[in-house]
Structure 1
Amino acid sequence: LNPAGKKGHKGRGKQFSNPEEIDRQMRLQREKEESGGAEKESSESEEESSSEDESESRKRSGVEGLIEIENPNRVSQKSKKVTEVDVSAPRELSRREREEIEKQKSAERYRKLHMEGKTEQARADLARLAIIKKQREEAAKKRGAVL
């Protein structure tokens, strides 16, 4: 039934809850908390320490209470005080900064060698210039001879 090249709809259609349903659910939840709160008040006078233990167990459910988990990949930002910062210490350059400096130095080295005529390109340029000078001299001689 689908035309060629058209894919069918994937996944479920989106379902939106209406505001009345959300309000009703929130009212029910509040009523549960209020009725539960009244029962807790009577039991709190008997056992205060047990409610503290319950709140801790709720915070750390499952294995979290048994094992201290620390992510080794997470780097915590340790801020230094201004007095602790050593300005005179050499700063480590990033890879990009090092490459940029190296690139500039090599370009400067090449330019210097090129000006001295020691590079292949400089030699080729000088040879081409010599040929052009000879051609111009010959053309000037011919013009001088014709006139």
Structure 2
Amino acid sequence: MPRGGKKGHKGRGKQFSNPEEIDRQMRAQRDLEAGVERASGSDSEEESSSDEDSDRRRNGVEGLIEIENPNRVSQKNKKVAELEESAPKELSRREREEIEKQKAKERYMKLHQEGKTDQARADLARLAIIKKQREDAAKKREEIRKAEKEAEEAKAKR
């Protein structure tokens, strides 16, 4: 389907320059610029090179026209101290939830260390049982050692 829909395209046809014409124009432009530099005299090569650098840095039409765009916001570098002071104190929902989760975990750990949670009570009861079993086992080992020593002493006396 043609560009303009069913009725066709109404605009003029595009005309393209041939590459030879573009090259010729560019050479003429360079020759003109070189002639102007020679005519102005040789002040110093540093000045001319800095002018060329500034022209190269600008893109497109920027070198020809100074553009003041009221909608363009210039980027201003801020210091870290300024950012912290001027930053809004409101947190996002995820950040708030994360902080609440950390505080809840800290609260639970504090209660757990004090032995006030169900899990802490169960752990303490388990530890008490294990301590009792170890004490009983230690007493049995001590009794066995005493019995063996008495048996050896009795053998030695005979």
Name the TM tier (shorter chain).
Answer: 0.3 to 0.5
Structure 1 length-normalised TM? 0.43
Structure 2 length-normalised TM? 0.40
Q: Which has the larger radius of gyration?
A: 2
| Greater share of residues in helix | 2
